[in-house]
Amino acid sequence: MGPLVLSADFPDYQLLDSGRGRKLERFGDVILIRPEPKAWWRPATGDEQWGRAQAAFQDNGKWKFLRKKLDPSWKVAVCGNTLEVRLTDMSKHVGLFPEQEPHWSWLQERLQGRKEPRVLNLFGYTGAASLAAARVGAKVTHVDASKPAIAWGKHNQQLSGLQDATVRWLLDDAFKFVAREIRRGNRYEAILLDPPSFGRGPKGEVWKVEEHVVDFLDHLRKLLSDEAACLILTMYNLEASSIMLHNLVQDMLPAGEVSSGELALLPKYGQHRMPLSLFCRWQPA
């Protein structure tokens, strides 16, 4: 099977157009312009669409509000949950990577019907995947090195009405946490990881994906239970390829079914798909 191209499909998000290093997106009822270095082509539309934007992220690292009444935070629904989108200075990111929705839906399908499956979400950001798993009854361990992201995730849990769900929100270095889990003998039915190309743990630990991901996957193999459902690896590293990830997962994990490809968004206008990240999925044969 060749590389797959998966695209998000939920009502509260739509890529409208892209080009010249930007993308025009709708989150709920709010239309944003964000920079996108992979959008090399020309936009399909002009001011008749781009002029509808309510905020745009500027080269100075700040959001410019194009409509006076726009609230800097609002809510969107995805995979049965309610998540908060926010515009914060110095970041084009809004708390949600919508292109990953195919992973969240697939994870729910893989876990559906299991009794309290254990899920480990590493580099989990604001918790969209963690809460998607919790929505179908999983016991989730969410690990991230960012204190604001952890707080945001807890807020999303409250918004989603999942106060009674079992979600552990851990501010920790992913590599060190996984090593401790192996020593403790803990196991998981599903593991997700979305490692940055470069990052630092809460105590300054340095992560470089090209130096650490091989050993990391070897450790994660030891955390998969005998009843494992899946592992999902997502990567935004421009120097990687889906074939690289496929080879790596096939080599490091137990024999099973491996699929790989790209996460890309389909536009409402024009025909240029917006490629955003690479992925590889493993599931038992």
Q: Is residue 258 assigned to a domain?
A: yes
pLDDT confidence of residue 208: 74
86 lies in some domain: no
Domain total in the chain? 2
The closest alpha carbon to 45, from 37, 36, 54, 53, belongs to: 53
Please indicate, yes or no, whether residues 186 and 216 belong to a single structural domain of this protein: yes
The rounded average pLDDT for each run of 10 residues, N- to C-terminus, in the chain (285 residues) is 89 98 98 97 98 97 92 97 96 98 98 97 98 98 97 98 98 95 98 84 71 90 98 90 95 95 98 97 96
Q: Is 84 inside any structural domain?
A: no
Residue 254 shares a structural domain with residue 139: yes
- 57 shares its domain with 183: no
pLDDT at 239: 81
Residue among 46, 39, 8, 5 nearest 23 (CA): 39
Asked if 141 and 237 sit in the same domain, the reply is yes
160 domain-assigned: yes
Question: Are 167 and 138 in contact, with CB atoms under 8 Å apart?
Answer: no
Residue pair 16/33 in contact (Cβ under 8 Å)? The answer is no
Both 15 and 59 in one domain: the answer is yes
Co-location of 145 and 279 in the same domain? yes
What per-residue confidence (pLDDT) applies to 89? Answer: 87
In a domain, 85, yes or no: no
- Report if residue 27 sits inside a domain: yes
Q: CATH number for the domain including 136?
A: 3.40.50.150
Q: Tell me the HSE value of 132 on the side-chain side, using a 13 A CA sphere.
A: 25
What type of residue is 72?
P
pTM, entire model:
0.95
**Are 63 and 173 part of one and the same domain?**
no
53 is in which domain, residue-wise?
8-77
69 and 176 in a single domain? The answer is no
Q: What is the pLDDT of residue 226?
A: 97
Q: Where are the alpha helices (DSSP H) in the chain?
A: 47-50, 101-111, 128-135, 147-159, 174-184, 209-223, 242-252
- Examine the domain organization and report whether 148 and 267 are in the same domain: yes
**Among 77, 108, 125, which residue terminates a domain?**
77
Whether residue 158 sits in one domain with residue 45:
no
| Number of neighbouring beta carbons within 10 Å of residue 64 | 12
Inter-residue contact 139 to 119 (CB < 8 Å): yes
Q: From CA 97, how far away is CA 88, in angstroms rounded?
A: 15
pLDDT of residue 198: 66
Q: What's the confidence (pLDDT) of residue 176?
A: 94
Whichever domain contains 51, its CATH number is: 2.60.40.1180
28 and 145 inside one domain:
no
Q: Is residue 121 part of a domain?
A: yes
Name 232's bridge partners: 192, 281
Q: How many CB atoms lie within 10 A of CB 86?
A: 16
Long-range contacts of 73-76 (CB under 8 A, 24+ apart): 74/27, 74/28, 74/29, 74/30, 75/28, 75/159, 76/12, 76/13, 76/27, 76/28
The answer as to whether 176 is a domain residue is: yes
Q: What is the pLDDT of residue 3?
A: 84
How many Å apart are CA 192 and CA 240, to the nearest integer?
A: 18
* pLDDT given at position 207: 61
**Is 159 in the same domain as 276?**
yes
